[in-house]
Structure 1
Amino acid sequence: MTLMEKMQILSIRIIVIVAVFQQANAIDVKCDQTFPSYCFIGAAIDLQSSAELNIVPMDHSHMVTRFEIGPVSNLKNFPKTIFEAFPHLEAVTLNSANIKYLAPNTFEKANNLKDLHLKLNKIMKLTKSLFKSAEKLQSIDLSGNEISAIEDEAFYGLKNLRTLKLNGNRLKILKTHTFSGLESLEYLHLYSNKLDTIEPQAINLPKLTEIFFGNNRLRNLPTDLFMSAPNLELTEFSNNRLTHIGDAFNSCHKMFSLNLENNPIEDISLTKFAKMRSLSSLSLNSTHFQFPADLPAIGNITTSSSVESLNLGNNNLSNANIFGHLVMFPELQRLYLYNNKFSEFSDVNDIKSVLPKLNTLDLIGNNLIINWLRDKCDTFKRLNINILSPRIN
């Protein structure tokens, strides 16, 4: 990095004046506004256990729209005085600041706040109407905290919120009114919590497009879980304890990606997924998926499915005649069958009549099929199907 580049970077960082007194009850922090709209405090601040952090107003306080502070030990409470010092704040970042508590009136003067980043703190609870005065909020990042309780209507009033990140917390239940009022929410991250219960209508989010539930403890899903989220496009439930999914996805007419891998699901029906007319990518890797004994009746098959990628890896599959079971997926291009127990396919010459667009077949880890594949290389080349295998090119 050249000297000029370093000087340019430094020019957008705010010079910080921090007065630290070992025995003082407070630490005064003042930003020297060489860049009027951005108050950045990059120095680590070591607060004494009884000290408080005071943000000192400046001549150009009314111009500050962004506030960011580096790691702060023993902060405990969110310094709500920043909204008094800087009344036009639009973005606040206080990551890794050891914040444990958000008082009910924390954001009562955050009238212009749009982006709030409080990840990697120690917040344990969100109280009712916590954000009611911050109606302009568009993004909240509370990932990596210790949140185990969200009171009903904690987010009520946030009609402009588009992104909410709650991943990496300790949530066990989503109640019916947990997300009440989030009429514009599009992205919801809930992975890596301890969720084991989702109450009916908990996902009442009309504009939601992406939701992530991976790495939780869910065992089953409510019927029509996403009935009130008609615009949902991407859903991820990997690494849970799901044994049944029932009719949870009946209303997902716009969903194009569904990940259910690493769940002991017992009621998997490909026909059910084929009815999801927008579904393009489906992962059933490491589930208990097995093909039924009988081939599907032709008269009961829908040809409206748009699935292009199907992952059935790690399921101990060995059926020689599998392609007839996939006739409901005429758009299928990529079929992943890695780490199963296939030794041959009896209907290889009929693949293209069933799956006319198939171009990739992943058989890595199926060691029993090596000799059979060697004899069928020319056949797959003629069909323009690329075989992925550790020993067959």
Structure 2
Amino acid sequence: MATLQNSAAPAPAPALPVSIEDVRAAHARIGASIVRTPTLHSRTLSQLTGATVYLKFENLQFTAAYKERGALNKLLLMPETARACGVIAASAGNHAQGLAYHGARLGIPVTIVMPLQTPTVKISQTEGHGATVILHGERFDDAYAHALTVAGERGLTFVHPFDDADVIAGQGTVAIEMLADVPAIDTLAIPIGGGGLISGCATVARAHQHPVEVIGVQAELYPSMYNRITGSTMPCEGDTLAEGIAVKEPGVITAGIVAKLVDEILLVGERDLERSVALLLQIEKTVAEGAGAAGLAALLAHPERFAGKTVGIVICGGNIDTRLLANVLLRDLARSGRLARLRIRLQDRPGALFNVARVFDELAVNILELAHQRIFTNLPAKGLSLDVECETRDKAHLDRLVAALGAAGYEGTPVELA
């Protein structure tokens, strides 16, 4: 005899905290006060990656980041009594500036708690938007805890950078615009820190007229959402270029949305992040911070995953320290062979440097800097080590130089980057 099955219908899955209607309403609410940034096709990046690449330039917002979308939506949904009291947040980055800018514009007092070691430029930028900055604690967690304490003491509304349904709905307006501009997009590559941006964008993607894959991207050094979703226990620490997504603990709300709506999370290394920042500046003539370049880094690190797809990438921010940007660009020149440091073994005698320089001249290689080392070396007392920093046309040109030095009797070794 067959066993009878329970004929009762399965209970419906609980509704997610953010719906497509929430995101559409947020877009109507904030649309007049944000920049409707362009979504443009990149022919060169498409050729480079094997995908059809579209870039959403959120670095063109007034505060140079998408974060002001969610912050503004939250502020506009607050009752007048709460607005009059003011808001508070813990942030040393784009959330602080977005909240400060729109708070000042709406006449809402904004207080931002930042860690003590926050760079002066970030403090001054946030204060420049009219916010009051409180410096507290050595780590972000300390600043976060203090912000909650101050919020309770002063009756301020705490505005979370990502784990808030109103903020998530505001961030999702990025995808509303992308898919309206380019309905053919079939894959989104979205950076993940706490998960606010990808939660909002995934909500929109699931309501699109045709299927859209949603791929999250995290820095290998901070795989917090990846750990949460996959159950892995990789460490979250280190100095990453993508500091805007260097989050040790993802949100509770966002993790739930990501688990249900995101197809996959990919991890990217520092080299790919650096290369992406450099490529966006060189090819698209646009400045992206490390987190803003994470989507492109995923295409460079995992080309097989995106080959043949029409991919939408969000350049989510452009707030990168100029000295750090210069360092990234120089390192990219070195990795491409256009800038090199050669360590050459010489005998310490008259004419040695002249003869080496003649090889560089014959190959039309520009010498930028020279450094002799006679003392701290394992060479004999009559030997010396010469470091030559030089500029070449490309890797092939550098290889010809090394070969010419060898043919002239010199042992020259490139000093490699990490």
**TM-score bin (small chain):** under 0.3
Higher helix share: 2
